[in-house]
Structure 1
Amino acid sequence: MANNAQQLEHSMASYRLIGLVGLWMRLWFIGQISWIVENDSAQSTNQFPNTELSNI
């Protein structure tokens, strides 16, 4: 029984690790997208100087 409990604990730990990696990758992906969007908006504000847009 102890061996089964250890196996279960190990699999739970690996599932938790996979979940953390998935969450980290999701956050990284969202960060990349927002960084690209910020760069695009910065370029557009440089092309069309507008004080209201640059304040946002």
Structure 2
Amino acid sequence: MNLELAVFSPKTQDNYMRHVNSFHGHFDKPLKSLGYDEVRQFLHHAITEPNFTRCFIC
């Protein structure tokens, strides 16, 4: 709903949700408990993992 209120296009909303789901799937914790340290860990994983594209990180 927040993405719709921010007037993001449906494609942008899909991309954001795909990235959030990828982030959430990387950890075995409730999404609300993930914070700064987990974001850093995930970005490091995304940078060093050959399956992630560079545009995923940008």
User: Please, what TM-score do these two structures have when normalized by structure 1?
Assistant: 0.38
Specify which structure has the bigger relative contact order, considering alpha-carbon pairs within 8 angstroms and separated by 6 or more residues: 2
Higher helix share: 1
User: Please, what TM-score do these two structures have when normalized by structure 2?
Assistant: 0.37
